[in-house]
A and B are shown apart, each in its own frame.
Chain A
């Protein structure tokens, strides 16, 4: 199913232009989590390009990506697939609706070693 609104949002948020992909598959060739994934990095790029996003939103693959950025580093076309995976992950989190992180939870989660930045970015992701 083509979801052009979500497609545009994903492209804008991730800053990834899937049209730059030349379908070489180096991202999937380099991915350490490949075997764990139902949809592989090159498929994320292709499916976002064609607007076939629903299956990605519902797939466990989203949470198998380690964000190691090997695909970003090695993509010859500068497509940066991991950033797209991250954007889909965010969309999935948002779709669930409920805040999964509340301000009240912070004191019990934080200790001296937790960087402030992590809390800020966790808020950004998990409280929409």
Chain B
């Protein structure tokens, strides 16, 4: 039999105003097992806690019931108090007589009656409480960053800076991501490459960082502090450690007509290629779908010109297994396909381009060496129309487009318009907008400069259709403020395509058992207060995989994610939550229901030998809970048909005892 102490808190007048606290402590004194009952003005104060400690010692209490505010508020406080008094912290139960009682009732009589009932329920539960000890697990002091764009690079640099090992896995042949493709960055117009490439070099030279380029994560097992990850290094048919990046092979390769991904297919690259001059690692890669040697066994020119002897046509995909303590997802974004937006004639005319293609057209390292020329005839465009919100802010039921605002388009379009007018003042520039959204430091000032200093024509309205006519594009649009329909004979039309998470994110989320929203953006543990953590312990989020973001925001989030990772990796051991599921193996029938509902992948099945009553042994398949992964959500206890799953600290018998006490 437990020796229970009851402590009723007044919470000033918060509770005592609607609950007769003296009546509550008197009534609960007569409950079975209760040997001490009192009330006090502020139980959470130092004096209140001392009162509890003294009572435990004086009356040899084994269990405590605190009738006070929500356990969310002070459960941790009173557990520490119990520990100070020499009790197991899990021998404390809170009866919430504030949020669920005094704050919602007006009459003293009703409030008091309910407080007594809630107290009785907590007493009934504490009778069945058992001491719990949180488990411990070691932490592998190495982090994995998936994605090598600016988000992944910044996260890796910050983690490495704190002295921990980091691996970056990037699926393309070089790190750098989308930022490497940009020309200038708003609102200060620094050249993207000039600020990004030093970081790429830093990360490559940092001895704590390893870069697996042209690689992908294929399997993730384990749990926070102890992930086992398989990384597939795709064969690039070039020995990475030997290649000097001299480019002789690239010059000599005869298979030159392959769409250049880095320039979004606006020019061609050879079958063996280095994506761009500052690529990291600066190593050539052979495209197996384009290389004549790999396809037909004929050619071999690159191997002959390579003085380093780095070409290896027999290279195979390689699988690397590594242990990590934390995983950061930084898989980034892509512009959506324009295929469904026929009204803008993207597939009919080469001169209708997306904004990312426009970046390449104005980039000094792009297909036109930075000269703004029409893709169709290489002429300088005299009239350019920018269309905002193409595929953003669409109806949820619409077959095309996304429901959300892509966030970055207003600013980069202002940048494009401004830079065009700066370099080519004779060009007429129109921007069709629905709203101009500029919530960022110096953002609105930037947009106003485009209008006031650079004379960009901002027109409130949307483009209805674009029709190629001769070498012109007839843009039909509405000007809502003038209440007119406009027809503009443009030379170039630039579509601000919505952005969406990279396609690799969905299968990765499945591997990580990390949750996603309907748009395939990763969800945060809390949208406001835990924005860089995934609900899955040990998995963190960086950059656009969590939602559309510009560069300043991405970098802030990347550093925040790194701080969270560092906070995890500095620990030698992780202390778990002891209120987790456990299965009674004798009752488990091996049905796998719990495994299927577990959102954290904490349950596995093992074959185990059991002694039968007739002294024979039998193999049975039973559920096992990994205490380091289980978050104590209780889904499995509900799903289990045989009642074998139970949640420690919230067992079915404890909850039934509470219900019984309330209904009595």
Contacts and interface: CB of A to CB of B under 8 A. Distances in A.
Real binding pair: yes
A127 interface: no
Contacts, number: 73
Given A22-B393, A34-B478, A77-B394, 14 more contacts: A25-B480, A27-B464, A28-B461, A29-B465, A30-B343, A30-B465, A34-B485, A40-B485, A42-B480, A74-B465, A76-B393, A76-B462, A77-B398, A78-B394
A78 B401 CA distance: 11
A15 to B, nearest CB: 12
Interface centre among A25, A34, A77, A79 (most CB of B within 10 A): A25
A77 B395 contact: yes
Interface in B326-356: 343
Interface string A88-115: 0000000000000000000000000000
Interface in A108-124: none
Contacts of B464: 26-31, 70, 74
A44 to B, nearest CB: 13
A85 to B, nearest CB: 16
A12 interface: no
B485 A76 contact: no
Contacts of A128: none
A30 B463 CA distance: 7
A24 B401 CA distance: 15
Nearest to A26: B462
A25 B462 contact: yes
Contacts of B58: none
B460 to A, nearest CB: 7
A27 B463 CA distance: 9
B478 A28 contact: yes
Interface centre among A34, A76, A78 (most CB of B within 10 A): A76
B434 A23 contact: yes
Contacts of B394: 76-78
A-B interface, 10 closest residue pairs, ranked by CB to CB distance from nearest = A30-B464, A29-B464, A78-B395, A26-B462, A25-B478, A29-B478, A28-B478, A25-B461, A34-B485, A24-B434
24 contacts: A23-B434, A24-B461, A25-B434, A25-B461, A25-B477, A25-B478, A26-B462, A26-B463, A27-B478, A28-B478, A29-B463, A29-B477, A31-B464, A40-B478, A42-B478, A70-B464, A70-B465, A74-B465, A75-B395, A76-B395, A76-B398, A76-B401, A77-B393, A79-B395
Interface in B431-470: 434, 460-465
B402 to A, nearest CB: 10
B397 interface: yes
Contacts of A25: 434, 460-462, 477-480
B305 to A, nearest CB: 52
Given A23-B434, A23-B480, A40-B483, A76 B389 contact: yes
Contacts of A23: 434, 480
Contacts of B398: 76-78
A3 to B, nearest CB: 23
Contacts of A42: 478, 480
B389 A24 contact: yes
Interface string B386-423: 00010001110110010000000000000000000000
B476 interface: yes
Interface string A61-82: 0000000001000111111000
B408 to A, nearest CB: 18
Interface in A16-49: 20, 22-31, 34-35, 40, 42
Nearest to B435: A22
A35 B397 contact: no
B395 A31 contact: no
Nearest to B401: A76
A35 B393 CA distance: 28
B371 to A, nearest CB: 31
A35 B460 CA distance: 19
A35 B397 CA distance: 31
Given A22-B434, A23-B434, A35 B343 contact: no
A29 B397 contact: no
B123 to A, nearest CB: 53
Contacts of A34: 478, 485
B495 to A, nearest CB: 13
Contacts of A79: 395
A78 B397 contact: yes
Interface string B460-501: 111111000000000011111001010000000000000000
A9 B464 CA distance: 29
A30 B460 CA distance: 15
A77 B462 CA distance: 13
Contacts of A30: 343, 464-465, 476
B485 A28 contact: yes
A42 B460 CA distance: 13
Nearest to A43: B483
B385 to A, nearest CB: 12
Contacts of A75: 395
B162 to A, nearest CB: 45
Given A24-B434, A42-B480, A29 B393 contact: no
Contacts of B389: 24, 76
Given A34-B485, A35-B485, A29 B395 contact: no
B605 to A, nearest CB: 46
Interface centre among A26, A27, A34 (most CB of B within 10 A): A26
A40 to B, nearest CB: 7
Interface centre among A34, A40, A74, A78 (most CB of B within 10 A): A74
A26 B398 CA distance: 15
A28 B480 contact: yes
A66 to B, nearest CB: 14
A22 B435 CA distance: 9
